Amino acid sequence: MNRKTVVIVGAGPCGIAAAIELKRRGMDAVLIEKRNIVDAIYQYPIHQVFFSTSERLEVGNLPFTSINRKPTRQEALVYYKRVVDQENLRIHSYETVDSIEKTQDGFLVSSHTMNGVKKQYEPAYVIIATGYYGQPNKLEIEGGNLPHVSHYFKEAHPYFRRDVAVIGGKNSAVDAALALEKAGAFVTVLYRGSSFSEHVKPWILPDFNALVRQDKIRLLSEAVVTSISEQSVEYTQYGQKQSLPADFVFAMTGYHPDHSFLEQAGVLKGEEGRPYFDQDTMETNVPGLYIAGVIAAGDNANEIFIENGRWHGEQIASHIKEKESWPSSL
């Protein structure tokens, strides 16, 4: 690879936005993605509607049109695929990065494909845009890894007339509970707090609370899950040990960023797991290593979304171009 090559780890919206900005400045960007583009959005529930309007999800100044004020998951998938095709971005999908090492001239990035083929890249610059949705906060309890326990909710139909436990008290838990009840599941929500998070979408709480009052959804507050078996969930509530039947369990307990590549490369971290980086350029304390998207927020994932993370690519591309004094292709 020549010095114009930049490896971007992660092909979510923020990684795609960075690739577009780099390409428009005459640089060769390669996106390496362990699954396929915008995989986090693909993992959303099929019925998912975004908080934001479509224009706030746009990258590369390419218009995102939606039939509704707030776009759906499916519309977003179609949009980002169209962006990749229109910009002719280089995507190495189903390829997993194994390590990132700093070298004298840049970096050594090692990876392997889904068929086990090992690959290496020697770019001058690396951008880590891995997001956080791929790393769920696992339940560190007995039975937390059983096959019927999932940290992702896709659709409700398979759970018709089955006992389903939903663990959590944020958007993903409330959304899952509503969809499951609508599909005819017998739903119990277990939440260790006494009231729901302030981050829960205010327009869905009235529906949820109404279903609780009507006994169509069972809500157990201040309930701490202690173990899971093939048929039940054990928990404590107000100091008492309890049990409830559960054919399926959705542990909607949140997600966290993967900092392993940053640590491997020598990136320093501060409070709340926040990597050290320059706010103006997104460059870390390791020269030539940049971060884009929610990974810049450390453990506080509620700080950065597509809406503000999509601008990181422009900051990064401008800084690299300034360093290298490459002619722009615009």
Q: Coil, strand, or helix at residue 137?
A: coil
Residue 246 CA to residue 194 CA, distance in Å, equals 22
**Which pTM value belongs to this model?**
0.88
**Where in the chain are all domains bearing CATH 3.50.50.60?**
5-135+255-324, 149-251
pLDDT digits (tens, 9 = 90+) for 45-100: 998 888 889 999 999 999 999 998 899 999 999 999 999 999 999 999 999 999 99
Q: How far is CA 27 from the centre of its chain?
A: 26
Fold that domain 149-251 belongs to in CATH:
FAD/NAD(P)-binding domain (3.50.50)
Question: pLDDT tens for residues 103-139?
Answer: 998 999 999 999 999 999 999 999 999 988 878 889 9
Alpha-carbon gap, residue 124 to 22, rounded angstroms: 13
Superfamily of domain 5-135+255-324: FAD/NAD(P)-binding domain (3.50.50.60)
Residue 328 has pLDDT above 50, yes or no: no
The pLDDT value given to residue 213: 96
Compute the distance between CA of residue 233 and CA of residue 236 in angstroms, rounded to an integer.
Answer: 10
